[in-house]
């Protein structure tokens, strides 16, 4: 066997071992997608919670739903930053709003985009621009390392850049911090005016038309969350047991409430 034949066989073997590229999904056919390796991939399972189950965030629910309804109708709509406590319902609210509007017959879909793939968003914009459907581009749990150029890229994509998002798409971003990029006291030692450094960082958050805060809930709200989930699943619960569950975890939130209900269902041999 000569060298050329050997190389051909090696290349063929490597191609068989390599995973095939994802097959692009029809952007009009599915309720939710994942943006992966430069292609739209249909989400395997999109089962958002019903909006009424999300308790203690009524103002945030109203704002996200109204903005999303405008987008689906082709009207002016904002990009949204949802920031605050872990497990407070930020991600669940985005998905639940899309599910609720789809239940109303609205032409809208969710596209989940990983934060490290921001640089590929212009390709996604080109793919969905002009489609007879609205899209919420969902970037979950976004944060940037100090010195990253990604914040400037996101600012450009949100507003003012040559490749800003199309009219039928808006970015919904969740983050633990209001301003996404951490502020470091060492900036005070910078030769640049410290106020300019801070203003540059805050400029990213300012690009979002809506900025919605989510905070740690009180005990009564937490118990109400548990009650709503339990009622939906036909479960009976003891409030003190639910409170003890949260105390052991050092947190009260919608996520902890749901985890407690999952535990409760498991004890009773039920699926969720």
Q: Please tell me whether residues 138 and 263 are part of one structural domain.
A: no
CA–CA separation, 203 and 207 (whole Å): 7
Q: Please tell me whether residues 142 and 199 are part of one structural domain.
A: yes
Q: Please tell me whether residues 123 and 67 are part of one structural domain.
A: yes
Beta pairing class for 80-84 and 169-175: parallel
6, part of any domain: no
Of 193, 214, 235, the residue that ends a domain is 214
pLDDT for position 45: 86
Residue 82: CA count within 13 A, CB half-sphere: 25
Regarding pTM above 0.75, the answer is yes
**What does the block give as tokens for 154?**
């996101």
27, part of any domain: no
Residues 6+ apart with CB under 8 A from 193: none
Of 176, 198, 214, the residue that ends a domain is 214
- Tokens 């983050």 -> residue: 175
272, part of any domain: no
pLDDT tens by residue, the chain, 272 residues: 566 666 676 666 655 665 565 567 899 999 999 999 889 999 988 989 889 888 888 899 999 999 999 999 999 999 999 998 788 889 999 999 999 999 999 999 999 998 888 888 899 999 999 899 999 999 988 766 555 666 777 777 777 566 678 999 999 999 876 556 554 444 444 444 444 444 455 567 778 889 999 888 888 988 998 998 888 888 888 899 999 988 988 888 888 988 999 998 898 887 77
| Domain total in the chain | 2
199, part of any domain: yes
Range of the domain at 55: 32-214
Beta pairing class for 134-139 and 108-112: parallel
- Tokens 């989940």 -> residue: 112
94, part of any domain: yes
DSSP 144: B
Output the DSSP codes for 158-225.
HTTSTTPPPTTEEEEEEESSTTSBPP-GGGGG-SS-HHHHHHHHHHHHHT-SEEEEE----HHHHHHH
According to DSSP, the residues that pair with 173 across neighbouring strands are 81, 139
SS3 111: strand
């Amino acid at each position: 066997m000569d060298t050329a034949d050997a190389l051909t066989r090696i290349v063929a073997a490597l191609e068989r071992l390599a995973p095939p590229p994802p097959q692009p999904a029809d952007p009009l056919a599915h309720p939710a997608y994942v943006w992966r390796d430069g292609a739209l991939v249909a989400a395997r399972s999109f089962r958002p919670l019903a909006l009424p189950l999300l308790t203690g965030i009524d103002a945030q629910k109203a704002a996200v739903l109204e903005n999303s309804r405008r987008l689906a109708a082709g009207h002016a709509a904002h990009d949204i930053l949802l920031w605050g406590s872990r497990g407070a319902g930020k991600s669940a609210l985005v998905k639940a709003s899309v599910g609720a509007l789809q239940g109303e017959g609205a032409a809208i879909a969710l596209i989940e985009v990983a934060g490290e793939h921001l640089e590929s968003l212009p390709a996604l914009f080109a793919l969905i621009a002009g489609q007879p459907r609205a899209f919420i581009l969902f970037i979950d749990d976004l944060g940037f390392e100090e010195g990253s150029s990604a914040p400037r890229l996101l600012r450009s994509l949100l507003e003012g850049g040559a490749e800003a998002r199309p009219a039928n798409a808006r970015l919904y971003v969740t983050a633990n911090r209001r301003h996404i990029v951490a502020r470091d006291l060492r900036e005070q030692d910078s030769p640049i005016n410290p106020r300019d450094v801070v203003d540059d960082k805050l400029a990213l958050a300012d690009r979002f038309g809506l900025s919605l805060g989510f905070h740690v809930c009180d005990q009564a709200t937490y118990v109400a969350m548990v009650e709503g989930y339990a009622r939906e699943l036909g479960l009976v619960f003891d409030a003190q047991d639910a409170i003890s569950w949260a105390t052991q975890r050092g947190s009260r939130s919608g996520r902890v409430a749901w985890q407690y209900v999952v535990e409760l269902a498991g004890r009773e041999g039920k699926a969720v």
